[in-house]
Structure 1
């Protein structure tokens, strides 16, 4: 190896280290964490393994073009891990337990990641096969390195990155619990009581909260009406169900826990949209109120061309063709379909001798009003 080649290798090695450092700093600023970017950088050794393996399989020497391909891989392979972990973080911020967030994120990002990798590999195949004419000695090693690194890093990233993320997050959760666990009370000292979080509803005076760690609160809708019989569940941050209870007639619930830490409290009631919130419990009870949206409703009027109300059958159908709700209008043509989950539906109206179809969007709470005009019924020709 000549001195010029040695200098080129040394400079590219430094450039590779600088690229990794820059990518790490950018990810630290993006994720706001020093640990999660390290998980994403695991993709780089996987890429190097595949790149070197394909170079050896094709008997291609490791030269300057191959090192340039390695430099390109630093930014390419980390992208797959970023889009995966970013979605998992979004799910966790929304209150989804760790296991469900990872499974959901991996399922949703699997197809885009594979499609991106396959498209890149096929785009580089002509270069890797030496079909680009002049400059093959430069383009071929570069393409081989990128293809090999992309294949190995993609396959291993989809498996190992979620596993490492789960292990790291579980470890961080255990550390948080230890830090936030209540300090032991020495004999003769009164136990410290944490003030409960303020509630938008007035706390009942007849049911004082005990001085034990727990999650207490009320469940209601956005109008402020308390909801009874709502199922309230408590999960740990690993997604394990700890206990389940139901709200009292005044909408209150109470769940005691063994120790302080972070938990996920979730409420679900029939067709209403479920809600979950990440809560922190210290040495005493914490008050968390939950607002459950929905269900929505579809209302409106069915009229004929003259503007008169029409007695008709009104049916709400989802995109799969399943009937969600159905009913009949009154004498004035008014209809009301209640207990409908939020989403887009087809509103089918069938009157005597005529029909109409329209598209409606039912909100998470409240109702959508749609006026439907049906054409006049055809007049039968005389015999």
Structure 2
């Protein structure tokens, strides 16, 4: 694009960028458009599930926090964002949302069905009881992707390597932030929303 701006072409000539670059731009635009549309759908579904906007917003806000690791790994290992890295970010977003939903639902379950009050003790208990599933998800996926992370120079791994780098980095922060930020935000700001969700009989996983 810089070259196109500098070239002074004769009348009747024009400069176009095609091939892989053009395809990547079009794919990036499509992924971005679909991602925004899907976020609205996810927000609607989360509101329908928790029956309070606070928890829907909390889950959505946890997603960009979880992507920090993916961005850091991309900066140091890849130096550029491609279609493959965008696919990795989508996967990380799904894991982060799942972890947040699982934790919040379990807190509500403890209050609804096990007689727990909205206390720090309840949040700590709920987090501990969901610690193993969250860690197992991260470890299983992370260990499985390590060979691809280390295969940067191997032929045939040009697409899978960036995906693996982003997912592994994202899994680290989504797990750490999920187990730290989600319980903290829930306990600090979620009392009223938890009462509303329980009154509206929102589903709660055990």
**8 Å CA contact 1:19, 1:74 repeated in 2:** no
How has the CA–CA distance of structure 1 residues 172 and 68 changed in structure 2, closer, same or farther, with 3 Å as cutoff? closer
Do the aligned residues in 2 keep the contact of 1:28 with 1:37 (CA within 8 Å)?
Answer: yes
Q: TM-score, normalising length from structure 1? A: 0.42
1:126 paired residue among 130, 147, 161: 147
What does residue 117 of structure 2 align with? 97
**How far apart in 1 are the matches of 2:137 and 2:153?**
22
Within a 5 Å distance, the mapping from 1:203-282 to structure 2 comes to none
Write the mapping of 1:56-95 to structure 2, written as runs, cut at 5 A: 56-94=75-113, 95=115
Select which of 39, 48, 53 maps to 1:29.
Answer: 48
User: Which residue is equivalent to 1:164?
Assistant: 185
SS of 1:42's equivalent in the other structure is: helix
**Contact 2:66–2:178 (8 Å) recurs in 1:** no
Q: Deviations over 1:147-180 (max 9, x none)?
A: 1111111101111111111222235589x9xxxx
Aligned CA distance change for structure 1 residues 172 and 125 (closer, same or farther; 3 Å): closer
Distance 1:141 1:30, change over 3 A: same
Contact 1:42-1:161 within 8 A present in 2 as well: no
Bigger relative contact order (CA 8 A; separation at least 6): 2
**What does residue 62 of structure 2 align with?**
43
C-alpha spacing 1:106/1:61, structure 2 compared with 1 (3 Å): same
Richer in strand (by share): 1
Count how many residue pairs are aligned between Structure 1 and Structure 2.
Answer: 176
Alpha-carbon RMSD? 2.4
- Inter-partner Cα distance in structure 2 for 1:143 and 1:11: 22
Q: Find the partner of 2:134 among 113, 116, 123.
A: 113
Q: 1:31: Cα distance to partner?
A: 1.8
Q: Partner residue of 2:158?
A: 137
Higher normalized helix content (fraction of residues): 2
SS at match of 2:151: coil
Give the drift of 1:36.
0.7
Counterpart Cα distance in 2 of 1:4 and 1:142: 18
Q: Which runs of 5+ in 2 are unaligned?
A: 2-20, 197-206
Match of 2:32 among 1, 8, 13: 13
Distance 1:14 1:117 in 2: 28
Contact (CA 8 Å) 1:54, 1:144: kept in 2 or not? Answer: yes
> Which whole-Å CA distance do the structure 2 matches of 1:147 and 1:108 have between them?
24
Using the size of structure 2 for normalisation, the TM-score is: 0.76
Could you tell me how far apart the structure 1 residues matched to 2:139 and 2:190 are?
Answer: 31
